[in-house]
Amino acid sequence: DFSERDRALLILLRPHLHQAYLDAERRRRGAPQLTPRHWEVLHLVAAGHTNAQIARRLGVAEGTVRKHLENVYARLRVSSRTAAVTRAFPDRDT
């Protein structure tokens, strides 16, 4: 059992420990190797846009957006939009 003082200290340390963990994970995995277009698509996905909305915004076909996302998933070794955003933007609050 932790004392009140121990719990208060852990509450203060939690954000710093979490950031240290994220930094260590980033160093271990390295930065994702994505093209500027992949990053652009991922930012729009992270903002909650659908493939159709992304396609309109970028002036491309919806199939092109799907292909970009397939390539992003492969490079990040993930299988979903949520996982891709989490992997690409580990510091993002969800």
Tens of pLDDT along the chain (94 residues) come to 889 999 999 999 999 998 888 778 777 776 678 999 999 999 999 999 999 999 999 999 999 999 999 999 999 889 999 999 988 887 765 4
Range of the domain at 69: 32-94
The pLDDT value given to residue 93 = 58
3-class SS of residue 87: helix
Q: What's the number of domains the chain is made of?
A: 2
Same-domain pairing of 36 and 69: yes
The pLDDT value given to residue 47 = 96
Same-domain pairing of 49 and 77: yes
Structure tokens at 88: 């690409």
- State the Cα–Cα distance between residues 54 and 62, nearest whole angstrom: 8
Same-domain pairing of 41 and 74: yes
- State the Cα–Cα distance between residues 40 and 46, nearest whole angstrom: 10
Burial group, residue 72, by CB count within 10 angstroms (0-12, 13-18, 19+) = buried
Same-domain pairing of 19 and 52: no
Same-domain pairing of 72 and 58: yes
